[in-house]
Amino acid sequence: MIRKKDYTEQELVEGCCHNDRFYQERLYRRFFPTMQRMVQRYTTDPEVGLTIINNGFLKVFQKIDTYSFSGSLEGWIRRIVFRALADHFRSEKRSLQFLELDNRDAPTVTGALDKLFLEDLLSLVDQLPAVSKEVFRLYCIEGYNHREIGEQLHMSEGTSKWHLSKAREKLRTLINRQYKDRSYAG
């Protein structure tokens, strides 16, 4: 049987629904680069990133029969891989530990954090200015210290600390806005 080179999303999904390894590989190869770029924004360790992506694709293959073609296949896969990313950070017990709160933030921000999911927090992190977001990610999620961040991003330790401070300040504002907008009740 001769198999053509480019397959439609419909063909890929149907093949994966039949647990056909050939179609699973084609789907994986088509969407892997996009998922890799997304995961690399949150982790700099290639092995950890690959594990997260593979866990995500395993869930994709397990749930592919639920895909209804109502939205983009890439978006559907992206959501599943993003959940695998969130699951990884939850399992590492880093999920909500990266926000150090001042006493003045405790009443509103802590209440909001109890109601937010990790996915919500990571989407708020995505709203930070680029350099501050990168410093925040490296320090709070990846666990680098300011000296290492400074070397990696070609800045001083003091500049790294400033960006982290600005990132936390902006996150507090975003979380408070999210808290008010969603009217979380205790």
In tens, the pLDDT along 70-87 reads 888 998 998 899 889 888
Identify the pLDDT of residue 25: 95
C-alpha dihedral sign at 168, 174, 178, 180: positive
List the chain domain ranges.
9-91, 103-182
In this predicted structure, what is the pLDDT of residue 47? 92
Model pLDDT, residue 32: 96
CA atoms within a 13 Å half-sphere pointing along the CA-CB vector of 119: 9
pLDDT, residue 142, reads 65
Retrieve residue 15's tokens.
């093949």
Q: Is domain 9-91 annotated with CATH 1.10.3470.10? A: no
- Alpha carbons within 13 angstroms on the beta-carbon side of residue 138 total 21
Give the contacts of 65 (CB within 8 A, at least 6 positions apart): 17
Question: What's the confidence (pLDDT) of residue 148?
Answer: 85
Q: Which residues contact 87 (CB under 8 A, 6 or more apart)?
A: 55
Taking alpha carbons only, the member of 142, 144, 46 closest to residue 94 is: 142
At 99 the pLDDT is 46
Which class is 103-182 in CATH? mainly alpha
pLDDT along the chain (186 residues), means of 10: 73 95 95 91 87 96 92 89 85 51 41 55 85 86 80 92 92 80 46
Nearest partner of 99 among 13, 173, 46, judged by Cα: 173
Distance spanning both ends of the chain, measured CA to CA:
61
Give the sign of the dihedral formed by CA 122, CA 57, CA 13, CA 35. positive
Q: What's at 169, amino acid-wise?
A: E
- Count the neighbouring beta carbons within 10 Å of the beta carbon of residue 43: 19
Which tokens sit at 96?
Answer: 């909500």
Structure tokens at 71: 């939205």
**Structural tokens at position 33:** 């680069």
pLDDT at position 100 = 43
**Rg of the chain (C-alpha set):** 20
- Residue-level pLDDT at 114: 47
Q: In this structure, are residues 49 and 148 in contact, taking their beta carbons and an 8 Å threshold?
A: no
SS3 43: coil
